[in-house]
Amino acid sequence: MGHKTTPLFSLLSVLVLLHQPSQISDSPSSSSSSSDNTFIHCLLNHTLHSHPINSAIFTPNNASFSSVLQAYIRNLRFNNSYTRKPNLILTPLHVSHVQAAVICGQKHNLQMKIRSGGHDYEGVSYTSSEPFFILDMFNLRSIDVDIETETASVQTGVTLGEVFYRIAEKSKIHGFPAGVCPTVGVGGHISGAGYGNMMRRYGVSADNIVDAEIVDVHGRLLDRKSMGEDLFWAITGGGGASFGVVISYKLKLVRVPEVVTVFQVARTLEQNATDILYKWQHFAPSTDNDLFIRVIIEVVNATQNGEKKTVRITFIALFLGDSKRLLSLMNQDFPELGLKKSDCIETSWLRSVLFWDNIVITAPLEILLNRVPQSLRYLKRKSDYVKEPISKEGFERIWKKMIELRDTAMYFNPYGGRMAEIPATAIPFPHRAGYLWKIQYHANWNEEGKEVADYYIEQLRKLHKFMTPYVSKNPRAAYLNYKDLDLGITNHNGKNCYQEGRVYGVMYFKANFHRLVQIKTKVDPHNYFRNEQSIPTL
């Protein structure tokens, strides 16, 4: 641990000499170069006697700046010249770099955006409307799996695929309940609850956390004991970014059978899809906790020339057991789907992750360690919750609307099982007993341009509006990890807007919002850890 004064000071002189208005000339951030230099001075000074930080600092002058910025943009909607760029990207190599960033960011009044996997649907982890820097966590990614205690300590720069792979490497009968997309980051996913196809058996990811490390607003590194139960509660579902920088989580592993079964079958309206879905909504949220059947609803061509459209409903399942038990369950309680033995694939839990991510099930498992998704798209998502069954006539009206809109899709994820048993106040995520399923509204497209984006976003808003009579109300519930800035944003230029924050806050957290506000007010009274939809202070 040397005092690398020579590289430090050469970095500084390079900055001072070479700092020109940034190439991204339409970015208002390019005018603040002198304050950025004092910010860098502060970072260097605060890490002088610990781990050298200079190789973790990327200014807009650095040739790698754009590629570092783009490396974890997971929604192409924010990969363009008109989105404001950060003044600087810091890629901590050590916890002391995070501590320096928190201290210096406040001292120099520069907003911090924390990015782990970069999957935020609204790009909130790497965009802003005020001058900001990105604290990019991708270098902090140790994983320590301990089968004896059935736990795993994972730093927040880790992806879900890496977590799953490293657990399975040590044990064939352990897993962790988390999202179905392997490139999603631990930092955003778990701090925002995180659900996947074992949710009906084990709850959400944040229900299975036993410890955490956080750097708080004073730059202190705290664990569960030293942060206290309030702050620990807040960062297991309330979103980490309102409270501090989460460094790691300690996961409670869960048991999985050596053989699980997956299937995917699709039915169009012509194949009685509406009747089958009507039965699904009574069956899926109340069946055996080992069974999770997601539904994907899309508009597809009914005829070769595409003149006539129809709706296709795809049923995709994970069953924590073998196909024999699954088939007897399905034949008894959900014969309408007509599931056959040949539809079922028995495999390991780890390979079921490939199946759910549309990867060939026999592919090398190392694919799960790939941090770059197979493809990137332009995205918009919204969410809703259904508490009352929808009638067949209701579904038919919805199909008519979707066919009219054409470019939208919906995912239904059944609740019930363990989800209905966990009290709504156990963690900030409040959507428990009484919920039948969650809807994710889905628009993907492939073309650059603001008009194109506006078109697709508007289609999705229309569908969301049309669904009003069928979904939860007062409040209309939503899921934080399906971040949707249509639900309101705070005017966050250093200001605190309680009223705006209350609107989305109550949709995401219901009554738990008030406890989150109290904790926020206590741990970060000056609202340094803020973003478009953070928890406001009182």
Ligand X SMILES: *[C@@H]1O[C@H](CO)[C@@H](O)[C@H](O)[C@H]1NC(C)=O
Which residues are marked as active site? 482
Q: Which residues in 196-215 contact ligand FAD (CB under 6 A)?
A: 196
Q: Determine contact, residues 124/86, Cβ cutoff 8 Å.
A: no
User: CB-based burial of residue 364 (10 Å sphere; 0-12 exposed, 13-18 middle, 19+ buried)?
Assistant: exposed
Among 194, 238, 285, 505, binds ligand FAD (CB under 6 A): 194
Please report the beta strands in 46-131, taking only residues with DSSP state E, as ranges in sequence order.
Answer: 57-58, 88-90, 111-115
Interface with ligand FAD includes 124 (CB under 6 A)? yes
489 binds ligand FAD (CB under 6 A): no
Q: 45 to 104, contacts with ligand FAD by CB under 6 A?
A: 74
Q: Given candidates 58, 78, 395, 509, which one binds ligand X under the rule CB under 6 A?
A: 58
User: Is residue 180 close enough to count as binding ligand FAD by CB under 6 A?
Assistant: yes
What amino acid is encoded at 17 in this protein? L
Residue 66 burial (10 A CB sphere; 0-12, 13-18, 19+): middle
Provide, rounded to whole angstroms, the least separation between the CB of residue 120 and ligand X: 16
| Contact assessment for residue 104 and residue 87, using Cβ atoms and an 8 Å cutoff | no
Partner whose footprint covers residue 116, from ligand FAD, ligand X, none (CB < 5 to 8 Å by kind): ligand FAD
Of 530, 536, 532, 538, which Cα lies nearest the Cα of 241?
530
Residue 64 interacts with which of ligand FAD, ligand X, none, CB < 5 to 8 Å by class: ligand X
CB-count exposure of residue 526 (10 Å: 0-12, 13-18, 19+): exposed
Quote the CA–CA distance of 355 and 373 in Å, as a whole number.
15
DSSP-derived letter for residue 237 is T
Give the shortest CB-48-to-ligand X separation in angstroms: 7
Q: How far apart are CA 438 and CA 436, in angstroms?
A: 7
End-to-end CA distance of the chain, in Å? 43
CB of 304 to ligand X, least distance (A): 8
Q: What angle do CA 426, 431, 436 make, to 5 degrees?
A: 135
Binding mask 68-97 for ligand X (x = CB under 6 A): --x-----x--x------------------
Helix (H) or strand (E) holding 164: helix 160-170
310 sits near ligand X (criterion: CB under 6 A): no
Which among ligand X, ligand FAD, none contacts residue 187 (Cβ within 5 to 8 A by kind)? Answer: ligand FAD
When asked if residue 442 is in the footprint of ligand FAD (CB under 6 A), the reply is: no
The footprint of ligand X on this chain (CB under 6 A) covers a number of residues equal to 16
Peptide bond into 373 cis (omega under 30): no
Q: Which does 188 bind (CB under 5 to 8 A by kind): ligand FAD, ligand X, none?
A: ligand FAD
Min dist CB 62 to ligand X, Å, is 4
Q: Residues 153, 271, 286, 444: which binds ligand X (CB under 6 A)?
A: 271
Q: Does 116 bind ligand FAD (CB under 6 A)?
A: yes
Among 31, 34, 64, 142, binds ligand X (CB under 6 A): 64
State the amino acid at position 247 in one-letter form.
I
Q: Show the binding pattern over residues 8-47: x = contacts ligand X (CB under 6 A), - = does not.
A: ------x---------------------------x--x--
Which position among 272, 286, 370, 444 is part of the footprint of ligand X (CB under 6 A)?
A: 272
Identify residue 77 by its one-letter amino acid code: R
The nearer residue to ligand X, 73 or 199, going by C-beta atoms, is: 73
Contacts of 346 (CB under 8 A, 6+ apart): 259, 260, 261, 322, 323
Alpha carbon 490 to chain centroid, angstroms = 20
Contact 129, 106 (CB under 8 A): no
Which stretches of the chain bind ligand FAD, using CB under 6 A? 74, 113-121, 124-125, 137, 156, 179-181, 184-185, 187-189, 191-192, 194-196, 240-241, 245-246, 481, 531
Which stretches of the chain bind ligand X, using CB under 6 A? 14, 42, 45, 55, 58, 62-64, 70, 76, 79, 271-272, 301, 306, 376
